[in-house]
Amino acid sequence: MVATPRTADGQPDDGPLIDATLAGDSEAYGNLVRRHQERLFQSLLRITGSAEEAEDVAQEAFVQAFVKLETFQRTARFYTWLYRIAFNLAVSKSRKRRPRVSLSVVQEASGLEPIDEGCAPDAPLAQGERAELLREAIAEMADDHREVLLLREFEGCDYQQIAEALSVPVGTVRSRLFRARMHLREKLAPLLQEDMESD
């Protein structure tokens, strides 16, 4: 059995499979797909909240990556490039529907506690309305801010990983994440004020 070539940091080296694919070996691309499909699917599942949608986006991303493979500059890992294609597809699809963003993710990202866990009779209705406000706040975010927020909160990526995925400096990642969180705080401020006045 031939050992899989690895990069300096111990990750599988996709270079030989990419070279073989570009030389016309379709089986080599099949190996690339098998190597990365589960990781990509799990990442997309956290973003979309739907296994069916995650699978659809992953398949479309692999097709696009195959078509665009000649343009891959190899300045980042193949998976990073593939993930960016998939993320853009997921964002594009999300524009056609309301984003499904969990309250816990928004709470963690914004540092706010938007939901009162009390047992008021109208609590379920209030929570539903608040959830809608939170989803709208995420939807109104600039794409680059939402992208950083999702990578940080859904993917659990650190600043360096996000910088690599987006091909931007770490400082840019920090500033975009800061702005994304400030956007949430501003949008949720009336909600919090309302809670304080009703106490």
Q: Around Cβ 145, how many Cβ atoms within 10 Å?
A: 21
User: Which residue ranges make up each domain of the chain?
Assistant: 12-97, 98-199
List of E strands, the chain: none
Query: Rounded to whole angstroms, what are the CA distances from 50 to 89, 101, 132?
Result: 14, 12, 18
Banded model confidence at residue 113, pLDDT cuts 50, 70, 90: very low
**pLDDT the model gives residue 115:** 41
Q: Report the CATH fold assignment for 98-199.
A: Arc Repressor Mutant, subunit A (1.10.10)
> Which class is 12-97 in CATH?
mainly alpha
In this prediction, what percent of the chain has a pLDDT beyond 90? Answer: 29
Q: Which of 65-69, 100-104, 143-147 is the least confident region?
A: 100-104
